[in-house]
Amino acid sequence: MYSIGQLSRRTGVKVPTIRYYEQTGLMPPADRTSGNQRRYDTDGLERLSFIRHARGLGFPIDAISALIELQTHPDRSCQAAGDLAQAQLDDVRNRIARLQALESELDRIVAGCDGKGAAGDCHVMTALADHDLCAQDH
Amino acid sequence: MYSIGQLSRRTGVKVPTIRYYEQTGLMPPADRTSGNQRRYDTDGLERLSFIRHARGLGFPIDAISALIELQTHPDRSCQAAGDLAQAQLDDVRNRIARLQALESELDRIVAGCDGKGAAGDCHVMTALADHDLCAQDH
DNA sequence: CCTTGAAGCTCTAGTTGCTAGAGGTTTTAC
DNA sequence: GTAAAACCTCTAGCAACTAGAGCTTCAAGG
């Protein structure tokens, strides 16, 4: 049996975050000692590791919740899990594309700034002040 | 003079967001009509356009605040604005790199899922359950 | 056994950047 | 004049935590 601190150290998830996950239903309520302290078994450890892994991959909490629901019903189709993972992959790809557009524009803005002028003539400030100079809408 | 709705339509910034920007100090307090409605001049329009442009580029509010401070002091060095823009560019690049690592891993996870199995044998679930399968820490 | 410090508990509120809704007032158009 | 649109302030919520206050329990050392 693990205390919450032991669980935290084993998984890398902070103590308050474990409590948060229990509060939001992602983790099942833990067994308690007579002193009201949480105690977790290896199932709890595995659940939290799963959550951490999925969070690390950027899955939102409700998607993880759905994945866990699938996990507790092994007879259900794998299709749903695949769809959730695919949706997350698509989201990540969209975010990359958007960030790359931002990078290009910021790169252009930064490249035009030699840091020598006064703020009144600053290329960065001028670029930000002139919305028409945007390469594209954002 | 513009009403807040007119300003919103001209800049694409929502009315509550304009109020929020005034509350947080990013926008100066607006002149008011006798009916207590905000009225903005072209300075206000330009300020909000600047804010929107910078937000669109991902600058956090406090960085925009710093940029605006520079803007109101044209004698100050351009170096600060360049630094802020460079910091934002670095942040965007870091985020891209992190997302690309996520993409690789998700891609691998998704690629192994043909959607035919039951959740109990699901490659996605297995991959998320096994933290050791991570290509790298995240 | 006692003491002390570490670890645990619940509860409240804050972070960032909005966003939504309630309940009221003002403005605008017909 | 009337009705609808637009405006106002205020409160609270969202996502996913995170921090701190004030208290209790546990564990280690003397």
Cβ within 8 Å, pair B117-A80: no
Query: A4-11 and A15-23 helices cross at what angle (nearest 10)?
Result: 100
ipTM: 0.84
Which residues on B lie below 8 Å from A77 (Cβ)? 115, 118-119
Residues in chain B predicted with pLDDT less than 50, given as ranges, are 133, 135-138
Asked if the model's pLDDT at residue A7 lies above 70, the reply is: yes
Predicted local distance difference test score (pLDDT) of residue B133: 47
Beta bridge partners of B32: B38
Phi, psi of B83 (to 5 degrees): -65, -45
Spatial distance between the Cα atoms of A79 and B114, rounded to a whole number of angstroms: 8
Predicted local distance difference test score (pLDDT) of residue A119: 58
A115: alpha, beta or left, given left = phi > 0 and alpha = psi -120 to 50?
Answer: left
Predicted local distance difference test score (pLDDT) of residue A72: 78
Average pLDDT, chain A: 87
Which residues on A lie below 8 Å from B67 (Cβ)? 124-125, 128
In the block, tokens 């820490």 appear at B137
Asked if the model's pLDDT at residue A23 lies above 80, the reply is: yes
Which residues on A lie below 8 Å from B125 (Cβ)? 67, 70-71, 78, 81
Q: Which of B53, B74, B105 sits opposite A57 (nearest CB)?
A: B105
Instruction: Give yes or no for A66 touching B (CB within 8 A).
Output: no
Spatial distance between the Cα atoms of A45 and A11, rounded to a whole number of angstroms: 8
Most A CBs within 10 Å: which of B73, B93, B99, B138, as the mutation test of the A interface? Answer: B99
| Chain C, protein-covered positions (CB within 7 A) | 7-11, 16-21, 25-27
Predicted local distance difference test score (pLDDT) of residue B61: 94
Convert the pLDDT of each residue in A27-40 to its tens digit. Answer: 999 999 999 999 99
Residue ranges of B 115-134 with Cβ closer than 8 A to chain A? 115-125, 128-129, 131, 134
Amino acid identity at A112:
G
Instruction: Give yes or no for B97 touching A (CB within 8 A).
Output: no
Distances (CA, A) of B73 to A127, B84, B126: 17, 16, 58
Instruction: Give yes or no for A48 touching B (CB within 8 A).
Output: no
Predicted local distance difference test score (pLDDT) of residue B118: 61
Asked if the model's pLDDT at residue A42 lies above 50, the reply is: yes
Asked if the model's pLDDT at residue A107 lies above 60, the reply is: yes
Convert the pLDDT of each residue in A45-81 to its tens digit. Answer: 999 999 999 999 999 999 999 999 888 776 776 788 8
Predicted local distance difference test score (pLDDT) of residue B136: 46
The distance (Å) linking the CA of A55 with the C1' of D15 is 13
Asked if the model's pLDDT at residue A24 lies above 50, the reply is: yes
Mean pLDDT within A94-99? 94
Nearest C-alpha neighbor of B24 from the set B68, B57, B72, B70: B68
Cβ within 8 Å, pair B120-A75: yes
Shortest CA gap B35–chain A (Å): 32
Q: Which nucleotide is nearest to A8 (CA to C1')?
A: C7
Q: Which of B92, B125, B128 sits opposite A102 (nearest CB)?
A: B92
